């Protein structure tokens, strides 16, 4: 029964309270636990909850005033099958429609059948269950507000490249223009480009979901590549979610193998393997993520600081004690904060003054290229004489590599066969990204950051930070003049370094 005007006005006031609280809206707007399709459910899965919490925080931070345009909210999830991506798309649609009068949205998917029978069907079903359902008319390709059908709506559009004009011209200067892409890995880049034009005014939003079936294209770039710094993105393993068929997934893993492309894409939410030209193979990374190790008592704690060169790159600090590079969480300084060199000095100085489970950092190896050199110098001025400036382009201590970066990565690759790393998807993507060549003297040359970016991949900040931990510990000769004491510290604390690092000095 349609509520009377007074009750509906009260409902509108209450719904407005969820403007920056999408999780609160989802818990309020649907009949959780009541007789019917939701009687056995008490709310979203954990990954969905976190997605909605992050979204609410970004809305609050932007504080859209209804006039001045704010930066777009861009969120994505790369995942395995069956985790509830379509359901989350429905909740986002209903939340925006219900809390933002005169919003305009477009929904698409990789194929017309997927859009019609799954994505749009799920959105329509949840909208009909929503407490605000009577505000809207739900059609086969359009949901529109009854009081303003021409300016307050969301529509379904196919993603064929010849249909790009259907994504153009969507604007809501005083409200929200939004896009939801389902199974986004197969959506053509041309559609993404046109949709970006709808994110220029008001309070724009874009949400993208999918199995990462391709290791190229826009979806791959935002999840694992050069665009990821501009997106709030996550990788979701189906086995960590409430809804998927765990027995079937276990069969897939048993039949196909944990690190097969099938399981990587359909279960783990990771991109397919890179080409055979990659420097570090995925089997090595996979085993290192699951290995258990125990550092020797007197092994030193080494830290590596990869310094951003501007733009979307991040500054990353990573830690390693002998075979263990997983026990201490990395520290990430976003690119926009990294422009303040004193901020980096402050963070690094704090790390050098801290105790990590009974260990102090014995040596901090800093990427000295560009901004890194002055940062290392300033840390030394502050009294931190265990800071080492490492030049990536310097000569390699081993004649088999062309430069210091290639050398460090070669040591990292060898170490991965017996070391332990954390399961951070960004570290995994970084380790698998670079290719390699050999120069005219048959020396190893690791693919440069510039080359990776030309291929649409991100700067491997996490992997470079980890690689830096191999610079000083294995080759005191690589240290600049004035740091002889650091070499002695390393030998005092790391008498078993040869065991873990291939015996090269």
DSSP letter string, 432-484: HS-BEEE-TT--EEEPPHHHHHHTTBPP-HHHHHHHHTTHHHH-GGGSPTT-H
Write the pLDDT tens digit of every residue in 125-137. 999 999 999 999 9
Give dist(CA 403, CA 396) in Å, integer. Answer: 5
Q: CATH 3.40.50.300 in the chain, residues? A: 5-236
Which pLDDT band holds residue 214 (cuts at 50, 70, 90)? confident
pLDDT value for 4: 77
pLDDT value for 314: 83
pLDDT value for 162: 80
pLDDT value for 475: 42
Q: Among 410, 432, 406, 426, which Cα is nearest to 275's?
A: 432
pLDDT score of 500 more than 50: no
What mean pLDDT comes out for the span 491-496?
32
For 472-500, letters b (16+ CB in 10 Å) and e give: bbbbbebbeeebeebbebbeebbeebeeb
pLDDT score of 350 more than 90: yes
Quickly tell me which residue has 């604007």 as its tokens.
171
- This prediction's pTM: 0.65
% of the chain at pLDDT higher than 90? 62
pLDDT score of 22 more than 90: yes
pLDDT score of 98 more than 70: yes
Any idea which of 169-183, 374-388, 443-457 has the lowest mean pLDDT? 443-457
Which pLDDT band holds residue 275 (cuts at 50, 70, 90)? low
Give dist(CA 18, CA 408) in Å, integer. Answer: 50
Q: What is the DSSP letter of 69?
A: -
CATH no. of 5-236: 3.40.50.300
pLDDT score of 493 more than 90: no
Give dist(CA 162, CA 483) in Å, integer. Answer: 62
Average confidence score pLDDT of the chain = 87
Write the pLDDT tens digit of every residue in 233-251. 999 999 999 989 999 999 9
Which pLDDT band holds residue 274 (cuts at 50, 70, 90)? low
Give dist(CA 84, CA 74) in Å, integer. Answer: 19
CATH no. of 282-500: 3.30.420.240
pLDDT value for 236: 95
With contact defined as beta carbons under 8 Å apart, do 52 and 22 qualify? yes
Distances, alpha carbon 333 to alpha carbons 45, 341, 346, 354, in Å: 29, 11, 11, 18
pLDDT score of 338 more than 80: no
Write the pLDDT tens digit of every residue in 281-337. 877 888 899 999 999 988 899 999 999 865 567 899 999 999 999 999 999 988 667
Phi and psi dihedrals of 118, rounded to 5?
-120, -65
pLDDT value for 262: 87
Identity of the highest mean pLDDT range in 98-107, 359-368, 480-489: 98-107
Q: CATH 3.30.420.240 in the chain, residues? A: 282-500
Which pLDDT band holds residue 106 (cuts at 50, 70, 90)? very high
């Amino acid at each position: 029964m349609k509520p009377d005007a007074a009750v509906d006005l009260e409902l509108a006031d209450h719904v407005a309270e969820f403007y920056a609280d999408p999780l609160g809206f989802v818990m309020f707007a649907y009949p959780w636990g009541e007789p019917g399709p939701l009687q056995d459910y008490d709310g979203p899965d954990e990954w969905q909850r976190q997605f909605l919490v992050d979204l609410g925080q970004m809305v609050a931070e932007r504080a859209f005033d209804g006039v001045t345009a704010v930066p777009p909210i861009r969120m994505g999830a790369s995942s395995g099958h069956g985790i509830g991506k379509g359901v989350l798309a429905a909740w986002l649609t209903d939340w925006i429609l219900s809390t933002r009068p005169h919003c305009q949205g477009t929904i698409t998917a990789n194929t017309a059948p997927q859009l019609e029978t799954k994505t749009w069907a799920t959105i329509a079903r949840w909208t009909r269950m929503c407490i605000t359902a009577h505000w809207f008319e739900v059609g086969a390709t359009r949901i529109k507000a009854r009081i303003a059908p021409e300016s307050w709506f969301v529509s379904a559009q196919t993603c064929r490249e010849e249909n790009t004009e259907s994504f153009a011209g969507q604007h809501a200067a005083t409200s929200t223009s939004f896009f939801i892409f389902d199974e986004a890995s197969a959506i053509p880049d041309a559609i993404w480009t046109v949709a970006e034009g709808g994110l220029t005014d008001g309070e724009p939003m874009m949400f993208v979901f999918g199995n990462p079936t391709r290791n190229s294209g826009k979806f791959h770039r935002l999840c694992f590549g050069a665009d990821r710094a501009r997106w709030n993105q996550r990788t979701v393993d189906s086995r960590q979610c409430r809804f998927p068929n765990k027995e079937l997934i276990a069969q897939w893993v048993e039949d196909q193998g944990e690190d097969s492309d099938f399981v990587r894409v359909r279960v783990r939410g990771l991109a397919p393997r890179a080409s055979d030209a990659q420097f570090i193979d995925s089997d090595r990374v996979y085993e290192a993520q699951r290995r258990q190790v125990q550092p020797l008592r007197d092994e030193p704690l080494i830290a590596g600081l990869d310094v951003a060169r501007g733009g979307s790159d991040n500054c990353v600090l990573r830690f390693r004690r002998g075979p263990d590079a997983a026990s201490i969480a990395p520290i990430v300084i976003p690119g926009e904060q990294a422009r303040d060199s004193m901020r980096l000095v402050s963070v690094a100085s704090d790390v050098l003054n801290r105790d990590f489970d009974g260990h102090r950092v014995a040596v901090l190896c800093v990427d000295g290229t560009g901004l890194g050199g002055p940062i290392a110098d300033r840390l030394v001025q502050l009294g931190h004489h265990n800071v080492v400036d490492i030049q990536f382009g310097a000569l390699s201590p081993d004649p088999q590599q062309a430069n210091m970066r290639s050398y460090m990565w070669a040591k990292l690759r060898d170490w991965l066969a017996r070391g332990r790393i954390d399961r951070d998807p960004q570290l995994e993507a970084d380790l698998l990204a670079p290719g390699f060549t050999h120069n005219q003297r048959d020396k190893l040359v690791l693919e440069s950051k510039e080359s990776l970016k030309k291929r649409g991949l991100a700067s491997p900040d996490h992997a470079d930070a980890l690689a830096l931990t191999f610079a000083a510990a294995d080759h005191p000769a690589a240290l600049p003049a004035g740091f002889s004491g650091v070499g002695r510290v390393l030998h005092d604390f790391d008498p078993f370094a040869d065991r873990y690092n291939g015996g090269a000095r």
